[in-house]
Amino acid sequence: MTITVAGVKKEVNDGLTVAQLVIDEKVETPQYVTVTINDDFVENSQFEEAVLHDGDSVEFLYFMGGGQ
């Protein structure tokens, strides 16, 4: 199946979970990443159960503190 990850189309296996995608994409500090599928936020606690489907668009977001 084909999904889009951070704007790049990729061929992946059917049944891929968000948790496995985080590993496959070598996401740094996965405990701090926020994931969206088709612009819907996925709770970190749901990464293992969230299965991706053909045509899904996935983004990894990192929220940083700081500033003045």
Residue-wise pLDDT for 7-20, tens only, equals: 999 999 999 999 99
Measure Cα distances from 22 to 28, 57, 61, 65, 67 in Å.
9, 14, 12, 22, 28
The answer to whether 24 and 18 have CB atoms below 8 angstroms apart is no
pLDDT of 3 strictly over 90? yes
What token pair was written down for 41? 């936020």
Whole-model pTM over 0.95: no
- What average pLDDT does the structure give for the chain? 93
| Second CATH level (architecture) for the domain 2-62 | Roll (3.10)
Helix (H) or strand (E) holding 9: strand 8-11
- Using 50, 70 and 90 to split pLDDT, how confident is the model at 40? very high
What token pair was written down for 11? 């061929």
- Using 50, 70 and 90 to split pLDDT, how confident is the model at 68? low
